[in-house]
Amino acid sequence: MRLELRRVFAAYFLLSVLGLVYALLQLGQPCHSAAQVKAAAEQVRQRDQRVQQLQAEVRRLHTQLRAQGAAGTDGSLPTIYAITPTYARWVQKAELVRLSQTFRHLRNFHWIVVEDADQRTELVAHLLRQSGLHYTHLNMATPPVLKLKDQDPSWLKARGVEQRNLGIRWLRENRELSEEAVVYFADDDNTYSLRLFDEMRWTKRVSVWPVGLVGGMRFEGPLVEQDKVVGFHTGWKPNRPFPIDMAGFAVALQLLLANREAGFDPQAERGYLESSLLQSLVSVEQLEPKADDCRTVLVWHTRTERPKMKQEEALVKEGRGSDLRVEV
Ligand code: UGA
Ligand code: MN
């Protein structure tokens, strides 16, 4: 990698010098004809383009090198696999940039991004390539019968279910039972403290912690006595087997691989999605409380407002919106 970078720098330097020499030679030359001038201009343009390409390549290699330093691997640390379902909407790129930059601070981390789409998009593929993270890019469209319509309230149907299940299947097909690692279901819109990942990394079966700003509460979370979960602080359906938000637990990879049938039930009643997985993996007594016996919130169930596009729509209607080629 270092060699390659050095070569790119050398090529870039050589081209710049050649460009300069060429320009200096041209200085003394009389101007022959319009055609000659045009040809020279074209040559300069092509050279500029090449220099720009090389600069982009240098930036890319820089990113990659930096990633190797930060997201480096350390054999003594269990890997964290985060499975993130994501779908196309105006804020998608912003969410994924924010998330990827949080994850960049972690060691031994592997991001499994599953697009709710018939095909993987270039937007997500590009973002992942640039991210400097170890990642796997998958896609699985939610079947139309299970998909929310635009007018539906957001709670009507479960979201991200098929995608998380595909992430689990990928792990079952590509990872060994002997690997010490942990799996976390990280929605693309939440806010994650880096400390959360230190807490979950050494999960033996299923670890749990509180989640902030969820279920109409300041926080929801397990109640802990003498290192054991004895109940749950929740404002809603407290009798669910595991009244825990998706962001509030992580599962040991080995447990997930050993229980080959365990998964999220797309038909689960509202609020029972998390229970549909956890029920087949652990009992409440076996849960491992983290984050100061569940007294510190390290993840928040935030949600980005859907931007109103009134002005944009008006411009498009007038036929003035589309010719500005800006990547948003
Ligand atoms: C809450 C929980 O925190 C989710 O983990 C749970 O999946 C969801 O409820 C549910 O009941 O299904 P909430 O904030 O209401 O989450 O849901 P979203 O953030 O809108 O979606 C959860 C994840 O699924 C996100 O990563 C989102 O990008 C993804 N998603 C959402 C899709 O892949 N496809 C969709 O059509 C909608
Ligand atoms: Mn959300």
Interhelix angle 2-28/34-70, nearest 10 degrees: 160
- Cβ 128 vs Cβ 122: under 8 Å: no
The answer, yes or no, to whether residue 70 has pLDDT greater than 60, is no
The pick from 100, 159, 185, 303 for probing ligand 1's pocket by mutation, whose C-beta has the most ligand atoms within 8 angstroms, reads: 159
Q: Is the CB of 148 under 6 A from ligand 1?
A: yes
Tokens of 248: 């509030």
Residue 244's SS3 state is coil
Answer whether 299 contacts ligand 1 (Cβ < 6 A): no
> 316: pLDDT confidence band, cut at 50, 70 and 90?
confident
- Whole-number Å distance between alpha carbons of 295 and 210: 7
| The two structure tokens encoding residue 123 | 């937007």
**Ligand 1 pocket, residue 234 CB under 6 Å:** no
Q: Which two tokens stand for residue 149?
A: 């319509």
Catalytic residue among 95, 162, 199, 274: 274
Closest atom, ligand 1, to C-alpha of 163? 33
Residue 274 near ligand 1, beta carbon < 6 Å: no
Q: Whose CA is nearest to atom 2 of ligand 1?
A: 246
Ligand nearest to the CA of 277: 1
Are the C-beta atoms of residues 260 and 187 closer than 8 Å to each other? no
Ligand nearest to the CA of 214: 1
Q: What's the chain's average pLDDT?
A: 91
Which-ligand-closest: CA of 211?
Answer: 1
- Of all atoms in ligand 1, which is nearest to the CA of residue 114? 33
Full-model pTM: 0.80
Q: What is the dihedral of CA 307, 310, 315, 319, to 10 degrees?
A: 90
- Residue 274 appears among annotated catalytic residues: yes
Q: Mean of the pLDDT values across residues 289-316?
A: 94
E-state strands within the chain = 79-86, 109-115, 134-139, 181-185, 191-192, 206-208, 211-214, 217-225, 228-233, 249-252, 288-289, 299-300
The identity of residue 20, as a single letter, is L
Q: Ligand 1 pocket check: which of 142, 151, 157, 187 to mutate, most ligand atoms within 8 Å of Cβ?
A: 187
Q: Is 173 a residue whose pLDDT tops 70?
A: yes
Is pLDDT above 80 for 64?
A: no
Give yes or no for residue 273 CB within 6 A of ligand 1: yes
Burial of 133 (0-12, 13-18, 19+ CB in 10 A): buried
Window from 1-10, 43-52, 186-195, 249-258 with minimum mean pLDDT? 1-10
| Per-residue pLDDT at 16 exceeds 90 | no
Q: Band the pLDDT of 145: cuts 50, 70, 90.
A: confident
Long-range contacts of 48-55 (CB under 8 A, 24+ apart): 50/15, 51/12, 51/15, 51/16, 51/19, 54/8, 54/11, 54/12, 54/15, 55/12
Note the pLDDT of residue 14.
83
Question: pLDDT at position 126, please?
Answer: 98
29 lines ligand 1 (CB under 6 A): no
**Is the distance from CB of 85 to CB of 163 less than 8 angstroms?**
yes
If you ran DSSP here, which 8-state letter would residue 238 be given? Answer: T
Q: What is the mean pLDDT of residues 105-115?
A: 98
- Which of 214-220's residues contact partners 24+ apart within 8 Å by CB, and which partners? 214/245, 214/247, 214/300, 214/301, 215/245, 219/297, 220/244, 220/245, 220/248
Q: Nearest to residue 136, comparing CAs of 79, 94, 98, 193?
A: 79
Coil, helix or strand at residue 161: helix
